[in-house]
Structure 1
């Protein structure tokens, strides 16, 4: 008699379960089980933010299912998922197919899966070793999925050729015309060469060196996988390249649509382990792309064994509020023509897709008679998908990069002025594309075409503000672009320093608007606490200036901002090691305090901050601390400015209730070479496409503005409302 039980609508089958889980992550699985038993999946994003835990992020993030969400299904397919784990993929497969049969070794993980997906009435989970369960499985599956599983074939199957035998075993259970889908790390992925640890072992370079006989898992190169396929008689296979990797895929290329220069810039984050940074992966990827070698060094593979799909590229924008979650695809039709589509990823995003068609009509009208083309947009009323023509041309950003590479600043300036001329046409009309950045304009001779206008608003926006944002995004993508000398471009736009600061605050608010005020993946990465460190040997030569003690200067804000009138130099002096202790009694009407430690690039460690003798910590954050530098750790800040400062904000309701306003600050200042400081700032904020298509990484540009910008600014102007 079959040994089955039900959790919600999900059936668990224990016929082949031997009474003991062969692997277990311990207490974290109990925590995950408690979460899924007592919370709706809609609460998972909030829980992920609160926990700041890699296992919780890995098992519960919606983005895990991106790796299979793009695969077209009719809804009637019969699916086998081998190694279903805690169900990160199962729920999406249930939505897309007719039935899902899962196999997993762990009873506890299968229970997590079942509770998580308890409303799915087409899911059965078989608990036990795949080798034991396999004889009971039918032979007519349309799809077999191995997401992060094939590398464990040695443990599942055993024998001299476990991976070959695993594939041959799976092939027997495919329906004619069925497909096997494998997602796996590339043993020679660039991130491992650049200093990421091997995912399964947590050690450096173990995959690159070929593993040892005791390795629990083995990943493969592209050719290594092809050799396995050929030994199994498989000749119909197709490689896709998830980026940054298959776990949290945001983009996926293929052999038919490879990445362009500058496209791969989300490289530093590594959630599961701290890592080294041995070189800049963006520049290394650009070199591989240029030389046609990307496929061999992509971080991950997704292989479709069986007939190919028309989709050749996908990009996900689902690290957003539900109303903005979409997927952008490039597909090839039967005539060989490329077609671009944008599809809503949930019901809430349907209106957003429809608004893109409205944006097309409005922008077409604005630029009628001008020198800016708007790529056409059509909406399929039945599917809710927007389609666009594939436009040939080179991104304006790429043309600008070529000018910089040749030290042709004059050529760059000429392109920028042409950009201003074209986008300012009919500026007085009440319609504007807020996202008219250089990447979104393709240049083909005299024809400039806007290819993405998702963030178009029914309001007039000054050209200088749109151009400011275009420059902002351009600099964000590549540290080398700072050589343009940004100040002269802001001056040409007629932007004051204060206006630039306001626009940066507006940009930060826009990001929070797009993400629904949720944490970005970069913020979650920081909370998880994994570090990205540069080995000392790779840092610039230690030509560090000798620490020259200076007077510590304080500015007081009584509600009207900081001024020289309300400032003073302290008698407190640094000792020979750059340490100082500041003790202040503050008037009740002091709202903010600004501390200027020195007047050159440095690293400041706030070894202790006490408010009314109570130490400030992450759990006691009523006091806001806002530097114009980059946080290296919970205590240390690096400043690449000649005017470093740290602002202490006393305006929280909790602090206003205190009767005594006494603040004690212990700090240590270390002088640092400006280039070294800039590199550290760049490394700290590099590689984060954090919230949406624009790659908006607000923090990294703080050091460009003398007066800085408060960390965590929010708020969206009334312009940020759709037409």
Structure 2
């Protein structure tokens, strides 16, 4: 008899895509099964099985393998694999500052994926139904079938073998392979504050994904999330829809209703996903909320709006009264105050106590940056000066190295070296 060890419902979706995943044990052996939550989802489960062999063919003779999969009684049965994910391995290298090894592994993984794209990408009606209409900025190539969710957390590493354990979102129509690479980089960097350091490495540009392509792929991603949801409205989206808040007459007359919201991501695997996020309204830049923590949550991210500004955290603590340990992509100005000089401010909680039930939040955002303007300008000017000094010193060093090299190639220098050897010999 099968004993259920873990169950995950991916049901905040259109009924066509809502599935239940079970990890179970039977006769001492573990396995994984996926089945539709509703009758409308049976076709989606069958399509995952049907795409399995095509993916195997796509990656044959490479390090990437596809997790073994069978269809039994309208449910998928997959092999349970133990081991570290590629994401965990790269995190370890990042912590040890083994940057070159990190880049080598990441480049190898992406290179294998990129080589599967042998056909010129063309926009189809099926593509537009899922990803919307796009304006191509350059020529792209696509594979016969494309798993767009090859994020690093979906790959188990066992020796020299990389096994893709989740291939639910695989499509058989053309998709730019660079979009898959964009998602790999985007979800790795953005789902954890510790990984923000890779933002300065220009990995997108290295992978030939420019600013225009990033904007295009972001639009595709937003449309893809809408496609998953369909007409379904998740519970997290109901509050801001049905309770816009109380608006006073002066506010209405002066059009002072703030448009920003506090976006919250709760994750059980360390990846912040848009489709699993929810919002609280920020009335005049303020939000006070009591957040229920789902069992198994290991990572929380708070995005206080998208505009730059000063965020004051008056309260961010667990129900026990213990303050949260946080990281941000801003500049800490005081104990409770952070300055965000770039858009999309983010606050990360990477340690979530096991038995905690609630998170108490009280945050205020000040959009008036006049008092900080000079400070920001000074900081940016200092960074620019330092960069300029480094460039100048690098140029001077190269110039001196060239002079030494030129001098060593002269007849006088070669004669001097011979003379020096003779003197030493004596």
Which interval holds the TM-score relative to the shorter structure? 0.5 to 0.7
Distance verdict in 2 for CA 1:491–1:626, change over 3 Å = farther
**C-alpha distance in 1 between matches for 2:206 and 2:280:** 32
Partner residue in 2 for 1:436: 150
Distance verdict in 2 for CA 1:673–1:484, change over 3 Å = closer
The question of 1:500 aligning with 2:214 is answered yes
For residues 345-384 of structure 1, the aligned pairs below 5 Å read: 345-380=37-72, 383-384=73-74
**C-alpha distance in 2 between matches for 1:391 and 1:349:** 25
How many aligned residue pairs are there? 267
Residue of structure 2 aligned with 1:421, choices 103, 108, 111: 111
SS of corresponding position for 1:311:
strand
For residues 47-126 of structure 1, the aligned pairs below 5 Å read: none
The question of 1:633 aligning with 2:282 is answered yes
TM-score by length of 2: 0.55
**C-alpha distance in 1 between matches for 2:215 and 2:233:** 22
**C-alpha distance in 1 between matches for 2:79 and 2:330:** 50
TM-score by length of 1: 0.33
Deviation, structure 1 residue 309: 5.7
For residues 158-177 of structure 1, the aligned pairs below 5 Å read: none
The question of 1:332 aligning with 2:332 is answered no
**C-alpha distance in 2 between matches for 1:446 and 1:348:** 39
Distance verdict in 2 for CA 1:488–1:520, change over 3 Å = farther
**C-alpha distance in 2 between matches for 1:509 and 1:685:** 28
Distance verdict in 2 for CA 1:636–1:311, change over 3 Å = same
Deviations along 1:247-275, one digit per CA (max 9) or x if unpaired, are xxxxxxxxxxxxxxxxxxxxxxxxxxxxx
For residues 168-247 of structure 1, the aligned pairs below 5 Å read: none
**C-alpha distance in 2 between matches for 1:406 and 1:616:** 49
The question of 1:320 aligning with 2:10 is answered no
For residues 150-161 of structure 1, the aligned pairs below 5 Å read: none
- What RMSD, in angstroms, separates the aligned Cα atoms of the two structures? 3.8
**C-alpha distance in 1 between matches for 2:210 and 2:250:** 37
Partner residue in 2 for 1:446: 160
Deviation, structure 1 residue 494: 1.2
Residue of structure 2 aligned with 1:468, choices 182, 199, 205: 182
Partner residue in 1 for 2:355: none
**C-alpha distance in 1 between matches for 2:164 and 2:5:** 22
**C-alpha distance in 1 between matches for 2:240 and 2:195:** 26
**C-alpha distance in 2 between matches for 1:528 and 1:449:** 44
**C-alpha distance in 1 between matches for 2:38 and 2:91:** 37
Distance verdict in 2 for CA 1:376–1:633, change over 3 Å = same
Residue of structure 2 aligned with 1:401, choices 91, 96, 117: 91
**C-alpha distance in 1 between matches for 2:219 and 2:234:** 17
**C-alpha distance in 1 between matches for 2:224 and 2:239:** 21
Deviations along 1:547-581, one digit per CA (max 9) or x if unpaired, are xxxxxxxxxxxxxxxxxxxxxxxxxxxxxxxxxxx
**C-alpha distance in 2 between matches for 1:686 and 1:641:** 23
Residue of structure 1 aligned with 2:172, choices 458, 461, 465: 458
Give ranges in structure 1 of 5+ residues lacking alignment.
1-307, 531-606, 619-624, 645-671, 688-723
Structure ranking higher in helix proportion: 2
The question of 1:515 aligning with 2:226 is answered no
SS of corresponding position for 2:60:
coil
